[in-house]
Homo-oligomer: A and B are copies of this chain.
Amino acid sequence: MELGNWLAEVRRRRPLVHNMTNLVVTNAVANALLAIGASPVMAYAHEEVEDMARISGGLALNMGTLNPELITGMLLAGRAAAQAGVPVVFDPVGVGATPYRNRSADEIVHQLNLSVLRGNAGEIGQIVGSGGTVSGVDAMDAGQELPGAAARFAREHRTVVVATGEEDLVTDGTRSWVLHNGHAWLSRITGSGCMLTGIIGAFVAVADRQMGAEGYAEAAVAAVTCLNLAAEKAAALSEGPGTFAAHLYDALYTLSPDDVDRGARIERWGAGT
């Protein structure tokens, strides 16, 4: 898997990514997508989400500040995307924290054909049924069974699961990877996970749709690695989370395909996979 090619492809094709994301991170997601070379659009009105999803290269759904109107809009957009062959990424922010979040995540997971499910380890644990705890939106504790449960979920739902944390897990149910890049300050700025969800939306947008989950898994591995490498680069120039955030956008902008190929620390996971 030549990861640098994925970044080059995003820069070349500049895919339009339709984001339905949360109120906390909207600006950060848009800036991360612009910095890496994609073209973000945010659209929420039921009157237009289907049209916007259809003309996009990828649809990124994030339920951080969910409400019933937003969930309905996500279902409309998600179905339109699926019909048009546009890949859908879903980020179940804070699932596990309240019953309403659980019901809403469940609705989206079961009613849409997701190309990628992306959350922190605690959130993914909630959805794939390996346990784990969530307090609010960022505390988390993944169960020991996460990798196996995530792979099983990916196989059953023909999707890709990305569980982020100190190390990140990507699986398409057949193959799994553990990604070792990144920096602790990603957890000290709000929206780094949400940025990743948007960036994955840009990378799956340039995947070969015929390959399905296999292609989306590689796109996700490349996306996670790009953000993680940018974080490493940014942290080296920063004195805290404020300057880190500024340098992170710079690093997403200056990161080269070659940086990605040389910097990636990726491990195939699991026997016989």
Contact = CB atoms under 8 A, between A and B. Distances in A.
A11 to B, nearest CB: 12
Contacts of A8: none
Interface stretch (A47-55, A142-150, A165-173, A212-220): A47-55
| Interface of A: prevailing SS | mixed
Given A97-B41, A99-B51, A241 B31 contact: yes
Nearest to A37: B188
Contacts of A65: 42-44
A270 interface: no
A251 interface: yes
A156 interface: no
A248 B35 CA distance: 16
Contacts of A254: 239-240
Interface string A36-69: 0001111111011001100110000000111110
A107 to B, nearest CB: 12
Contacts of A51: 97-100
Contacts of A191: 27, 30
Contacts of A30: 24, 190-191
A76 B107 CA distance: 25
A101 interface: yes
A250 B246 contact: no
Quickly give the copy total for this chain.
3
A241 B249 contact: yes
A111 interface: no
A85 interface: no
Contacts of A251: 240, 242
Interface stretch (A115-123, A130-138, A257-265): A130-138
Contacts of A240: 35, 247, 249-254
Nearest to A246: B242
A35 B139 CA distance: 15
B67 A242 contact: no
A236 B94 CA distance: 37
Contact of A41 (B31, B100, B137): B137
A35 B242 contact: yes
B135 A245 contact: no
A256 B51 CA distance: 45
A156 to B, nearest CB: 28
Most B C-beta atoms less than 10 A away, residue of A25, A94, A191, A246? A246
6 contacts: A16-B139, A42-B64, A43-B65, A44-B67, A242-B245, A242-B249
